[in-house]
Structure 1
């Protein structure tokens, strides 16, 4: 999948553009499609938010591949994530949660929870833990949190080689502490 495919697929009579600021890539789409599947988009376009005025929605921190997968789901109901890309699935889960696209959240949780432990890199597991920990009051995210802890624990001997693990202690000591506590529980 690439961003150009996304542009060709959705650009007939579009009235809003999703933008990836990091790459400048624009994804033309339709407000009624986005609003029909997301209360957040619906509120965004029906209010005085800047997105309603500019007809542009910036998806900060989101990869082009993730936006393409999101639009494939919203337009076709198809969940197309490249195999071996648990990072894209996790990014898509974050976007789906942020924009309250519940059926997509549920599908992605199922995919990530059933993914082979060896196919999820430690860096992705650390990001999964961080995301799931913020949502631990919602029971459906507990399985994701537990899985991420298992992956990190299975790779404990090589954690020193993972820059994401070292960065975690520098950038978010409380999260690193919580991860260590959870590792100790299993």
Structure 2
């Protein structure tokens, strides 16, 4: 399956995706993986308006998206996957999705999270999930826009992971 980009971005479809990533990636489907967005028709409508007409927007809950990926629904497509959290990506990988790389583009600060980088705020569950993704030999790189330099965020995650488990 030609999955062009797997991205963790809590804002999902927004300007950096449309103006940055879509301009350099040859995708024909954006798969938004979000249990919450599947229940929010207003957010679905706003995302649909933001995506260019030549790109299909597929919004699915975690279970249905995972089933579609692992059952070959997207095998003939060029897909960008957008998910809100590392735990969603981990779920897909553990269910059989074959991701080689995950881009962390935006995990913003909310109460209960701590800031590691400008665009990387995590809680313990995020750290656990990113650690588990990493030990499955999946590259995890931090980058907001495609022209930005890839940043290896594994040292930060592993430091957080060790700190959590030494408490």
Higher relative contact order (CA 8 A, sep 6+): 2
Higher percent of residues as helix: 1
Q: What TM-score does the superposition give when structure 1 sets the normalisation length?
A: 0.34
Q: What TM-score does the superposition give when structure 2 sets the normalisation length?
A: 0.36
Larger Rg: 1
